[in-house]
Amino acid sequence: MTTYLLVHGAWHTGQAWARVVPLLEAAGHRVLAPTLTGYGETVHLAGPEVGLDTHVGDVVRLIRAEGLTDVVLVGHSYAGLVISSAANEVPDRIARLVYLDAMVPEHGESAADVLPVSQGLIEAALASESGWRVPPMPELPPPAGLFGVTDPADVAWLRTMLSDQPVRCLQQPVRLDNPAARRIPRTHIHCTIKPEGFERRPVPAVQPNGTPAEVWELPTGHDCMITAPGELAELLLKLA
């Protein structure tokens, strides 16, 4: 049995994984898909003090509280930053990092460093009435849709889980200064349908641990856990 810990991205909740969790569990594995502080049932906790470190703490506390080991730690989108810093804290408990259409940072980088378009979101939030709220990205014409979701029923469902992102999440830097964290193998899963302006960094041919890079693709939009749950689960099960 493998333990999968699925971490949602900005604006979303753990409910985004609802179609993937049962597929992994049906294969005999343990799956956790928490909602990070400030979203979903904890949206009332969102505020200017909530940042990347808050979400890293959420993941690390869950790992320790549940006594998890040999974890396949999956981070979607913004959560690539979260899982990187979490692995830095508890590298002995992580079997593999999976960057799911995610930001892949170096030590000391923030979201704005990894994805420069984030800087515009930061500036808009700081200049807004709240001074900290980053609203969800708008729905675009197909094939971009709402985070890559275009089916009207799925868009309506996705809207029920979206809420504002605290700007500090995009400002705080990642910590990757633990040599043990660099030894954790990585898998990158890229969604091939994406809007203009969201160019990802090329994945280096060699991982930090010295092994060849592992990059897989899904021919779908950004929220692949909604649009292609079966295909995503099939890829994740290869890591069991």
Q: Known catalytic residues?
A: 77
Q: Are strands 3-7 and 71-76 parallel, antiparallel or unpaired?
A: parallel
Q: Encoding tokens for residue 82?
A: 């979260």
Q: Give CA–CA dist 43/230, Å, rounded.
A: 29
Residue 157 is which amino acid? W
CA-closest candidate to residue 203, choices 220, 217, 222: 217
How far is CA 86 from each of CA 55, 57, 58, 74, rounded to the nearest angstrom?
A: 9, 8, 9, 11
Helix axes 52-65, 79-89, angle to 10 degrees: 50
- Other Cβ atoms less than 10 A from the Cβ of 169: the count is 25
Q: How many CB atoms lie within 10 A of CB 60?
A: 18
The amino acid present at 145, given as its one-letter code, is: G
Token pair of 151, please?
A: 């089916």
- Return the number of other C-beta atoms located less than 10 Å from residue 158's C-beta: 24
- For the chain, percent helix, then strand, then coil, each to nearest 5? 35, 15, 50
Where is 57: in which H helix or E strand? helix 52-65
